[in-house]
Homo-oligomer: A and B are copies of this chain.
């Protein structure tokens, strides 16, 4: 395509509201333009990349036997009332009424529609398993749309849904999808991790998020330095540090507990300082309401209790930290002085695994301004349940190997999720099994934020001059530039190469504009096409300069041998 007549308006500057590199650079490169907050037009360069990402997603999802469909954006409210999400989804749901005042929403995801479709169309176990997917524009009315394509209100998503007769079949498809995602993000040149999104204590609901590593990501991941273990920090499994911090204590020689005065000292760190004991030997006692019942959660002073883990460990639906009034009512003391010793019997005590190994510890007394010292768990108080209840920290041991956990930031680009029978139960989605009995579909769902992937690629692949597209996602493969189109020998060689490349099926953007060379090179770096071919001063010798956008490597090349050399050059552009 000739740049002269292309809608590719590059910009030197963009507004300060474009904070993320991908937002800024895609605006500057003339790939996207904002129409309203979180609502973007894709210009020709941007749309070409969007379609390349779509196509790679399609190829890999097709490869595992999923069938492509297209469901409507307009979803009748009734279906979402059946599933319950009409009331629970919140203000992010875009709703509308038609001319007859019937309620609709614009689908942010399509579990209801696909469950509705299959409950009518698939009656027999013989049709299972079945996987369906679509690549479609989705709507979510974000409170603060920002970051360009990373968090929009109208965006392109690939959403897939699988239907099964048994859990084993779901496991197989889940693994297929997982592997397809690995291939997709690998082909797109992304450095990513598949992280455990839920430690999975409840009913076998497995889930992984695919995170592109980026300092600008919104999520924090716990990643092993050594093996491929990675998890969302909210739910990552914890293991004792390789080296205990606590000086070894002989539990048998610890004297009986005794009460000491800690006037106004309640925070674990302050208690440790006040009593001159290591922080990790202070036990934090936190009162939670778990499905409305009081539970005392014990973690080491240097750890934080993790609500998701408490919820999973106790198979609960709702977990909240008790407020001051509740703490006073149940412990008889202000917040900060609770403890398991002498507590009302109906309060369950659950402790993090790391508490089990402690001895000679300090703990609350259920009395203001006092703590107990010389406390040994088990000897001095009972624990109903030990479990992994703490949030991981950098430096923790990997739960899988002997590596060390480090924190990274990530951008979520994909999610695979075992839904189980959540939607089929709510919406009566059943089939007849081999014995003619009604069974609910067992389901999985699998999403990729296609437009968000575009932005994630730019977050990982850019420098101060612009984007550096990997070949697989680049809007064009080759950027052909004529330095001075007024010079006959340059113009004619460039035109000749342009035809030759087009005929060879190479995707080439041809900068034939009458701009200064400096402007053309700046725009070229900004747009970030992997291979640049420049026809300039050496055109009279039949020479062309090639330059890789990524590595900066450049050299001369005879125009005559371009057809031979090009495949080899294109193989090296991502290196």
Contacts and interface: CB of A to CB of B under 8 A. Distances in A.
Q: How many copies does the complex hold?
A: 2
A153 B122 CA distance: 26
Nearest to A143: B99
Nearest to A131: B5
Interface of A is mostly: mixed
A36 interface: yes
Interface in A119-142: 120-122, 126-127, 129-130, 132, 137, 139, 141
A130 B7 contact: yes
A511 to B, nearest CB: 14
A521 interface: no
Nearest to A142: B99
B70 A47 contact: yes
B74 A153 contact: yes
A40 interface: yes
A118 to B, nearest CB: 8
A255 interface: no
Contact of A96 (B67, B75, B95): B95
A76 B35 contact: yes
A72 interface: yes
Contacts of A7: 67, 69, 118, 121-122, 127, 130, 132
Contacts of A71: 35, 41-42
Interface string A39-71: 111111001101000000000000001011111
A9 interface: yes
B117 A74 contact: no
A70 B41 contact: yes
A408 interface: no
A33 interface: yes
A67 B2 CA distance: 11
A47 B69 contact: yes
A95 B67 CA distance: 33
Nearest to A97: B96
Interface string A65-94: 101111111111000000000000001101
A4 interface: yes
Contacts of A126: 4
Residue of A1, A33, A70, A139 with highest tally of chain B CB at under 10 A: A70
Contacts of A120: 33
Interface string A13-51: 000000000000000001001011001111110011010
A113 B39 CA distance: 12
Contact of A44 (B30, B67, B91): B67
A285 to B, nearest CB: 41
A68 B4 CA distance: 16
A34 B122 CA distance: 16
A74 B41 contact: no
A192 interface: no
Contact of A121 (B33, B99, B132): B33
B5 A130 contact: yes
Given A94-B98, A132-B7, A153-B74, A47 B35 contact: no
A70 B96 contact: no
A69 B98 contact: no
Contacts of A75: 35
Given A7-B122, A69-B7, A73-B73, A91 B99 contact: yes
Residue of A30, A65, A99, A130 with highest tally of chain B CB at under 10 A: A99
Contacts of A388: none
A154 interface: yes
A72 B40 contact: yes
A427 to B, nearest CB: 14
Interface in A304-357: none
A6 interface: yes
B39 A72 contact: yes
Given A122-B7, A127-B5, A68 B44 contact: yes
6 contacts: A1-B67, A4-B127, A7-B132, A35-B116, A41-B70, A44-B132
Given A7-B67, A92-B99, 10 more contacts: A5-B65, A7-B130, A30-B121, A33-B121, A47-B69, A94-B98, A98-B153, A99-B141, A99-B143, A106-B106
Interface of A: 1, 4-7, 9, 30, 33, 35-36, 39-44, 47-48, 50, 65, 67-76, 91-92, 94-96, 98-99, 102, 104, 106, 113, 116-118, 120-122, 126-127, 129-130, 132, 137, 139, 141, 143, 153-154
Name the 6 nearest CB pairs between A and B, nearest first: A96-B96, A44-B67, A42-B70, A9-B121, A39-B72, A41-B71
